[in-house]
Amino acid sequence: LLIQTGLRRIILISLFESRCSAAWILFKIIKTTTVDTAVLKERQRQLMSKSLPKQKPIQGVKQVIVVASGKGGVGKSTTAVNLALGLMANDQSKSVGLLDADVFGPSIPKMMNLRGQPELGPHNLMIPLTNYGLPCMSMGFLVEDASPIVWRGLMVMSAIEKLLRQVEWRSLDYLVVDMPPGTGDVQLSITQNVPIAGAVIVSTPQDIALLDARRGAEMFKKVNVPVLGLVQNMSVFHCPKCLHQTHIFGSDGARQLADTLGVPVLGDVPLHLNIRETSDVGQPVVVSFPDSPEAQSYRNIASAVVQRLNKVGS
């Protein structure tokens, strides 16, 4: 652009001083080339948009909330489960579903204490398994517990399509989707095929986790998915004996990242033995200890998510 601008100035000076016909021809060529380049870029943009899949809502689902993380091991699935249960606990008039989109490492069956294969309904759609009033669907229902899922990309995409389109969710106000960690094909496939109301990013305060969390947030922004905010998980450890508080993974790292991204922190979840034990036995803390501070932290996050959905959607 700078070269073209400089050439234009030289050519205009030449025209003014000598009215050189060659300079005039060169000026017209550069102008035409600039216009052609702009037209070409617009044409490429149109072709790219046509090649992307058309977003189609999931039948019966009003709003889809994805729970994501840049890396594994930060408590994403635990947050997704308790967020879904927290949405139900805060407003019993709302219907909520939970979809486990982590094909290679499905955690929802164990966390929700669900086993068995889903039955087919009258419309040849899979009927979700339900516990604690929360309908759930996961690849873990379709394969054996110890069976490794060794699939290539196309097989994974086909499985995701089935989980999205071949489940009879009936009528849901919210569908919480537990996404796999990272920013790969599954994330892109879901965001390009389904309109997402918002994304919740889960991270610990640790610097390494925050680096990946930022990548995840930036990915959602690129595909025009609103980032509702960050959940700072394992924010502080409360010693059960002396009640001393220790910031094992650092303090307020997620808050600093949220400020950088221009999104709020939806809430803090402590590193608590109660959360781990209840998740391992399939009795999430929101339903097994509803009056505990840990359960209240998830319910507060659920309230913040609803407020952000209303703000983003308005």
Average pLDDT, stretch 143-151? Answer: 64
Q: Find the range with the poorest average confidence among 192-196, 200-204, 246-250.
A: 246-250
The answer to whether residue 15 scores a pLDDT higher than 80 is no
Q: What is the pTM of this model?
A: 0.79
Average pLDDT, stretch 126-150? Answer: 83
* DSSP-derived secondary structure for the chain: -HHHHHHHHHHHHHHHHH--HHHHHHHHHHHHHHHHHHHHHHHHHHHHHHHSPPP-PPTTEEEEEEEE-SSSSSSHHHHHHHHHHHHHHH-TTS-EEEEE--SSS--HHHHTT--SPPPB-TTS-BPPEEETTEEEEEGGGTS-TT------HHHHHHHHHHHHHSB---SEEEEEEEPPSSSSHHHHHHHHHS--SEEEEEE-S-HHHHHHHHHHHHHHHHTT--EEEEEEEEEEEE-TTT--EE-TT-SSHHHHHHHHHT--EEEEEEE-HHHHHHHHTT--HHHHSTTSHHHHHHHHHHHHHHHHHHHHH-
Give me the pLDDT at residue 14, please.
53
Give me the pLDDT at residue 2, please.
44
Read off the pLDDT of residues 159-190 as tens digits, 9 standing for 90 and up: 888 888 899 998 999 999 999 887 777 888 88
